[in-house]
Amino acid sequence: MASNEHLSTDPQPVIQCDSVFKIFGDRAKEKLAEVQGGIVDAKAFQEAGCIVGVNNASFNVTRGEKLIIMGLSGSGKSTLLRCISRLTDATAGRILIEGQDLLAMNDKQLIELRRETMGMVFQSFALLPHKTVLENIAFPLQVKGVSTQDSVKKAMDMVELVGLQGRENYFPRELSGGQQQRVGIARSLAVEPDIWFLDEPFSALDPLIRKEMQDEFLRLQSVLNKTILFVTHDFDEALRLADRIAIMKDGIIEQLDTPANIVLNPATEYVQKFTEDVPREKVLRIESVMDPVDSSETFSNLKVSKDAIIETVAEAVLSEQHPVPVSNENNEVVGVLHQSKVIHVLFGRGTDKPHQ
C-alpha cells in the first residue's frame, strides 16, 4: 500500500511516547524513582503492592499511520491507550501529541485537545442510553458549543458515512451490536479529529459482523486518512488492519514492526507463538519473497505488483510456466518471483523462512 511512502514525508510524529510507565498503587511514584531507567522488574513492584500496567513504552506514530497494539488480556494494551488519551495519567515518561506535552496540560487544554483532535471508540460502545442515534453522534459537537442546527446537520453526515440512514431516531437499545458500534464510530468522528483511538472496537461483535466492520474500518480509513491507534487482542485482526503492530506482554512492548516482518522475524518466543499458525500467504507481500532480476531467465508475460498479498496472485503465478516479473508502482520491474517460493509459502511447514 501507498501508506509507507506517505509516512516518511512528515518529519514530526503525531504521537510520540518516550519511556511511558503506568504503575498502579499508592507508592508507585517513589518506587519508580528508585529504579534507573529501562524496563522495571514487575515482581519487585508487586511485592511493594504496585502493579505494573505499562512498562517503558517508547514509540512514534506518524501521520496517517495505523498502529495496532496487540496483546492478550492483562497485557497493558488498553492501559497504554488510556495513557495516550489521558483517561489515566501516566506515572512517568513523556507523551507528545502533535509536539505538545500531554502530561503537562491542564484540564482546560486537555478538554480543548479532546474536542479538536481526538476521537475514541469503545469496546462496550458506551453510547448514552437516553439519547437517540443522532443525539449521540451530535453529543461531542454539542458539548463543544456548536448550535443544535449545525451539530444535527453534521451528525446526519456522519450517520450517512457509517450507513445508518433511516435509523437516526432510534435509541441505542433498539440497535444490534454492529449498528451500535457504527454509532460509536460516527460519534468519535463527528468532531473530525486527527487522531482516532479504537479500544477493541470489534471484540464484542459476532465473527461475521466483525469481518464486516473491519472492512468498514478500512473503507473509512481510505477516505479519512486519520492517525490511528487501535487496540485488539485478535492477532488476525491486527494483521488484517495494521500498518505496524506493537505486540505487548505484561506491560512490555515485545515487538513493534510491520505485519510481514513480525510473521517473518518474530523477535521473541512469545511473538512466535502468535505467528506460528498464521497463514503466510495471507500476510506476506510479493516483495518479501521475490528474488533479484536475473536477465538470463525467461519471464512469463504476467506481471505482479510487489505490494500484492501472495494469496491474491498465487493461483495466477503458479499456472505460469516461467518466473513472473515483479513491478513497483511506476511499473518498473524490480524483481522476479519464482514459483518455488510461492509453493514454499503456501505449503512449506515449520518456522523456516521462505528463502533458504
Binding positions for another protein, rule: CB under 8 A? 82, 85, 87, 107, 111-112, 114-115, 118-120, 122-132, 134-135, 139-140, 143-144, 168-169, 171, 184, 187-188, 191, 197
Q: How far is the CB of 281 from another protein (least distance, A)?
A: 38
Going from the C-alpha of 28 to that of each of 81, 95, 248, 268, 348, the distances in angstroms are 19, 19, 21, 28, 49
Would you state the cell numbers that stand for residue 236, as one nine-digit string? 488476525
Among residues 74, 238, 275, the alpha carbon closest in space to that of 229 is found at 238
Among residues 186, 274, 197, the alpha carbon closest in space to that of 228 is found at 197
Q: How far is the CB of 180 from another protein (least distance, A)?
A: 12
Q: How far is the CB of 74 from another protein (least distance, A)?
A: 17
Q: How far is the CB of 340 from another protein (least distance, A)?
A: 51
> Is residue 304 within 8 Å of 317, Cβ to Cβ?
yes
**Smaller CB distance to another protein: residue 118 or 283?**
118
Going from the C-alpha of 38 to that of each of 19, 41, 89, the distances in angstroms are 8, 10, 19
- φ, ψ of residue 72 to 5 degrees: the values are -80, 175
Distance between CA atoms of residues 22 and 49, nearest Å: 14
According to DSSP, residue 298 is labeled P
SS3 66: strand
Q: How far is the CB of 99 from another protein (least distance, A)?
A: 20
**Smaller CB distance to another protein: residue 60 or 88?**
88
**Smaller CB distance to another protein: residue 113 or 213?**
113
Distance between CA atoms of residues 185 and 340, nearest Å: 44
**Smaller CB distance to another protein: residue 192 or 329?**
192
Q: How far is the CB of 124 from another protein (least distance, A)?
A: 5
Q: How far is the CB of 126 from another protein (least distance, A)?
A: 4
> Is residue 55 within 8 Å of 254, Cβ to Cβ?
no
SS3 297: coil
> Is residue 215 within 8 Å of 241, Cβ to Cβ?
no
Distance between CA atoms of residues 177 and 136, nearest Å: 15
Q: How far is the CB of 257 from another protein (least distance, A)?
A: 29
According to DSSP, residue 331 is labeled S
> Is residue 326 within 8 Å of 335, Cβ to Cβ?
yes
**Smaller CB distance to another protein: residue 113 or 326?**
113
**Smaller CB distance to another protein: residue 172 or 335?**
172
**Smaller CB distance to another protein: residue 10 or 150?**
150
**Smaller CB distance to another protein: residue 24 or 270?**
24
The alpha carbon of 246 is separated from its chain's Cα centroid by a whole number of angstroms, namely: 9
> Is residue 334 within 8 Å of 312, Cβ to Cβ?
no
**Smaller CB distance to another protein: residue 188 or 327?**
188
Q: How far is the CB of 140 from another protein (least distance, A)?
A: 4
